[in-house]
Amino acid sequence: MKKVFKNACVTGAGNGIGRSIAISLNKNGYNVVCADIDLKALNETLKQMSNKKCLKIKIKCNVSILKDIDKMIAKTVKEFGSLDIMVNNAGVTKSLSLFDLDEKHWEWMNNINAKGTFFCLQKSAKQMIRQGHGGRIINMSSVGAKGFVDVSNTIYAATKGSILSMTKTASQELGKYNINVNSICPSPTYTDIVKKLVAKRAKEQKKSEKEIMDYYMRDVPLGRFNDPHDIASMVIFLSSLGARNITGQSFNVDGGLIPS
């Protein structure tokens, strides 16, 4: 009998894409640990998780701190019995030009986006190996890693590029343990972060927010922003039995913006 994965952990679950992923996992019958640095935001996420047949808990976690990651994984196992699905969604960025970026920005984005994703991947993989029945690790990258011209900044793009590389390499090492490792590359997704980015660009360019949004969508065949649920739907698929033979891949969810 094949192992059915039911216990998930989502970082950055307090808002935006992470919140939508946690809610969708709960709706689809998964027990979910919601991790974030903002406990108040997590309260709202848990409030929106309506499937009472499944367990849901919150934990404060800064993914740039390794002890926090250890506590997060330990709590998942203590409460649910195992960690089957790890969704490394936590990430940060800011709209900045190349010459406005400095060392502090480098450290901030790399500590959360690259370092945080790597050690969540590594430590969750160790736990999955101990359990002996495999698992799924899903990393959140970006079309910014694949040359999207309107990415928020160059350092952010670099951190998301590193996630693509670690996904491919880790999938090769972890395949023998029946652990699938994949990444998702969203295009602009209509979250609070993107709303703020659109407002900032509109003010800078003295244009309406609609004009900025239309500009971003100019090369998107489907002509629309992602909704966070679009990303959550890919997580549900990659967590399912139907994705058992998919690993080492990066999936664009972008309305056709990036061709590969």
Catalytic residues: 156
Tokens 């945080």, residue?
Answer: 116
Cα–Cα distance, 84 to 134 (Å, whole number): 7
Residue from 125, 146, 144 nearest 136 by CA: 125
Contacts of 218 (CB under 8 A, 6+ apart): none
Residue from 137, 92, 97, 88 nearest 110 by CA: 92
Residue from 113, 117, 169, 115 nearest 144 by CA: 113
> Do 118 and 90 form a contact (C-beta atoms < 8 A)?
no
Q: Kindly tell me the sign of the dihedral angle through the C-alpha atoms of 162, 247, 37, 228.
A: positive
Size of the chain, expressed as the number of residues it contains? 260
Alpha helices in 16-116 (DSSP H): 16-27, 39-47, 66-80, 103-109
